Structure 1
Amino acid sequence: MDLTSLQQQLEQPRLAPVEQWDPPFCGDLPLRIDAQGRWWYQDGEIARPGLIKLFASVMLCQGGAYFLQTPAEKVRIQVEDAPFIAIASRWQPTATGPQLWFTTNLQDSVPLSQDYPLLLRRYAGQSLPYLSLWRGLSARLHRNLYYQLLDEAELRPTESGTDAILHSAGAAYLLAQAE
């Protein structure tokens, strides 16, 4: 194993094994993640990063609904858009070419790859890029990061306009599509 591979493994988020648990559904919890990635319990914002990371480690999305799942219980929470925001990026060398890594608002590092691709989704009347994550979750690219990556993207003319393509570790990903 080379140093880059070891570093990448250490940067991956540590997740609880929720796939191994089958607890009963216990109802709705008044927990909400707003469109800016802020976490709220009832009417108060959760300001403790450690508590947010703990909740995020047991979160999953099933059938478009978001849940926190422990061995003992499963509760539904509300997510306005995506539970996470990709706030920064960096390039790292790999055997198949430079790979783009994203950092989320929870400081998780995620490689742009076949396991974690970019997808375009509609939100608030716009087509926006989202990084697909584990257990059906996603991170919307922050607007500043999106514009930074547009400068780095390959522009491809299409019949309807121009698409923006990012290349990461030898694969191509659609960042923006002409509408």
Structure 2
Amino acid sequence: MMNNEHNEPNPTKKVAFSDDKNLMGIAQYLKDAQPGHKRSIPPLEHWHPKHCGKMDLTVKANGEWWHEGQLVKRQSLIELFSTVLWKEGHTFYLKTPVEQIEIEVEDEPLFVNQVDQVDIEGKTYLQLTTTTQDLVIVDEQHPIFMREYEGELRPYVHVRFGLNALIQRAAFFHLIELGSLQENAEGDAILSLKSGDLLLQLGT
């Protein structure tokens, strides 16, 4: 139910990247592969490129992207690269049809900053929007869960291809408003949320 429309690039197009894995070269390739200005998620699961080393690109735990020691300030560029994020095991990559380049991700590479409720076929679902314009309908395949990061319990939602999104503080407060807080037998706070037929109970 997610916004994951596929768009296949021209398979005959050949691209040669420089040895330093030039970020702008990849960006130009991705722009050429996507017609118009419509954002789409390519069918990364069908691509089997060679591994081509590591790029000096880091997605910080606070959502910032850094390339070769410089903060990436162009949101349009971040949104473009987010469409080709890929994860194998505990390793993150930028993936194109011809190359798979390792990057560093401190926690998770996607970040939810908006929470809405939408009606689908007579049922009310939670819809989460990321800072890179992913729309995620919370369901059995895309659940919200809690996980510890550096001693802090944080909320996440599964998005795609093994990638999760951190639900940012303001968005999580909105989720609390949409749910109900109770205490369990141990005195811990439990947040109950409903999305369609899915009932979630999250320890906070």
CA contact (8 A) 1:11 1:108 kept: no
Q: Does 1:134 align with 2:134?
A: no
Structure with max Cα Rg: 2
Q: Does 1:163 align with 2:163?
A: no
Q: Deviations over 1:44-72 (max 9, x none)?
A: 11122222122111111111110111111
Residues 152-161 or 64-73, more deviating? 152-161
Q: What's the counterpart of residue 52 of structure 1?
A: 78
Q: Does 1:177 align with 2:176?
A: no
Instruction: Give the counterpart of 1:28 among 54, 67, 82.
Output: 54
Matched-pair identity in %: 28
Q: What's the counterpart of residue 102 of structure 1?
A: 128
Residues 154-163 or 113-122, more deviating? 154-163
CA contact (8 A) 1:96 1:169 kept: no
Q: What's the counterpart of residue 19 of structure 2?
A: none
Q: Shift of the alpha carbon at 1:26?
A: 0.8
Whole-Å separation in 2 of the counterparts to 1:68 and 1:44: 18
CA contact (8 A) 1:132 1:138 kept: yes
- Taking structure 2 as the reference length, the TM-score comes to 0.77
Whole-Å separation in 2 of the counterparts to 1:133 and 1:103: 10
When the two chains are superposed, the root-mean-square deviation of aligned CA atoms in Å is 2.2
CA contact (8 A) 1:11 1:109 kept: no
Structure-to-structure mapping, 1:7-156, within 5 angstroms: 14-95=40-121, 97-156=123-182
Cα 1:10/1:33, change in 2 over 3 Å? closer
Gaps of 5+ in 2: 7-38
Q: Shift of the alpha carbon at 1:95?
A: 2.9
- SS of equivalent to 1:50: helix
Q: Deviations over 1:62-111 (max 9, x none)?
A: 11110111111111101111101100111111235211101101122211
- Taking structure 1 as the reference length, the TM-score comes to 0.86
Whole-Å separation in 1 of the counterparts to 2:46 and 2:151: 37
Cα 1:154/1:96, change in 2 over 3 Å? farther
Whole-Å separation in 1 of the counterparts to 2:193 and 2:179: 5
Number of aligned positions between the proteins: 171
